[in-house]
Amino acid sequence: MAIRHFLDLDAIAPEELKAILADAHALKKQKFNPPQIFDGLSLAMVFDKKSTRTRMSFEIAMKQLGGHTLVMGMDELQISGAESVADTANVVSRYVDAAMIRMSDHDLLCEFASECSIPVINGMTDESHPCQIMADMLTIEEKLGSAKDKKIAWFGDWNNVSATFAQAAPIFGFNLVLSLPNDLKPKTLGANVTYEEDAMLAAKDADVIVTDTWVSMGQEGKGINKFRPYSVTPALMAQAEEHAIFMHCMPVHENEEVSPEVLASPANVIYDEAENRLHAQKAILAWCLKDAGVSVS
Ligand code: CP
Ligand code: NVA
């Protein structure tokens, strides 16, 4: 039986992802009376980078639904010294029911998962951030109804978050416009993804305006001047639909990728988006733990 790893959106059947989102809506409705579906189950979390939202939302998600958590920094594990990936994966699999890992090296995460006999969740690598995009889909469905046929315009860097939005576009049926410096344009644009170098044109009639830091963790010291035309300003928001929302996975860098006026405007939904990490995570965990007997409904 295939292990229910949550490593990349395009590795999971679209109907499964849509069912996870439906469960996330249902679990959010039970925010104040959470079903104890993780009773007796444990999640290990390992981080090689900082985190506020991923760390807190996974821990609270697990505990609110009756489970246990264990959190470690990557440098605290023997794997950071001499122990092999295979031995670490085998041992972790004997202690806990699932593992959530934030690891820069995507290939190493996949190698670790392939050695595990428990589900492994990608808590963000340098290549993708699938848990974030599930929370973003939940937020878009709440604010705008279905994401299908919506125009989502992304501004700034080509990074782990934008790459995962590109994976999500054909799955959830939205149209993604990438507005980035030309040298960052990806070599291949997948289904439902287009490129527009001019930020004002990219924002035109968009339902969602989304951005992220210009300097992802691990890229400190990189120049940011080429990103300035892609800053989300009131002028850029004015190109979008009247109902358009502003999204950002956070942490936010005011006066860089977004101006304070946009953050102060009613279009800003970033705190709802951050809260939705919690509800999306509950549903992702429930999907991963299905073979351990977990069911949401
Ligand atoms: N959006 C997000 O993943 O935030 P953290 O880095 O704080 O986990
Ligand atoms: N692109 C950012 C996302 C942080 C949640 C980073 O990798 O640092």
Tallying the residues shown for the chain, one arrives at 297
Compute the distance between CA of residue 242 and CA of residue 221 in angstroms, rounded to an integer.
37
Nearest residue CA, atom 4 of ligand 1?
53
Catalytic annotation present for 243 = no
Give the residues surrounding ligand 2 with Cβ less than 6 Å away: 159-161, 212-213, 216-217, 249
CA 134 / ligand 1 centre spacing (Å) = 13
Q: Is 90 exceeded by the pLDDT of residue 82?
A: no
Confidence class of residue 58 from pLDDT cuts 50, 70 and 90? very high
Read off the pLDDT of residues 189-198 as tens digits, 9 standing for 90 and up. 999 999 999 9
Average pLDDT over residues 224-249: 98
Read off the pLDDT of residues 102-139 as tens digits, 9 standing for 90 and up. 999 999 999 999 999 999 999 999 999 999 999 999 99
Average pLDDT over residues 16-43: 98
Ranges in the chain annotated CATH 3.40.50.1370: 9-129+276-292, 132-274
90 sits in the region (left: phi over 0; alpha: psi -120 to 50; else beta) called alpha
Q: From the CA of 49, give the closest atom in ligand 1.
A: 6
Query: Is the distance from CB of 180 to CB of 157 less than 8 angstroms?
Result: yes
pLDDT confidence of residue 297: 76
Compute the distance between CA of residue 93 and CA of residue 105 in angstroms, rounded to an integer.
20
Q: Is 80 exceeded by the pLDDT of residue 95?
A: yes
CA 188 / ligand 1 centre spacing (Å) = 27
Dihedral of CA atoms 252, 229, 202, 263 in degrees, nearest 10, equals 30
As assigned by CATH, the class of the 132-274 domain is alpha beta
Active-site entry in 48, 53, 132, 279? 132
What percent of the chain has a predicted confidence (pLDDT) above 70?
A: 100
Compute the distance between CA of residue 153 and CA of residue 174 in angstroms, rounded to an integer.
10
Q: From the CA of 218, give the closest atom in ligand 2.
A: 8
Give the residues surrounding ligand 1 with Cβ less than 6 Å away: 51-54, 124, 132, 249-250
Q: From the CA of 49, give the closest atom in ligand 2.
A: 8
pLDDT confidence of residue 182: 97
Which of 52, 162, 276 is the pocket-test mutation for ligand 1 (most atoms within 8 Å of CB)?
A: 52
Amino acid at 26: A
Architecture of the 9-129+276-292 domain: 3-Layer(aba) Sandwich (3.40)
Catalytic annotation present for 288 = no
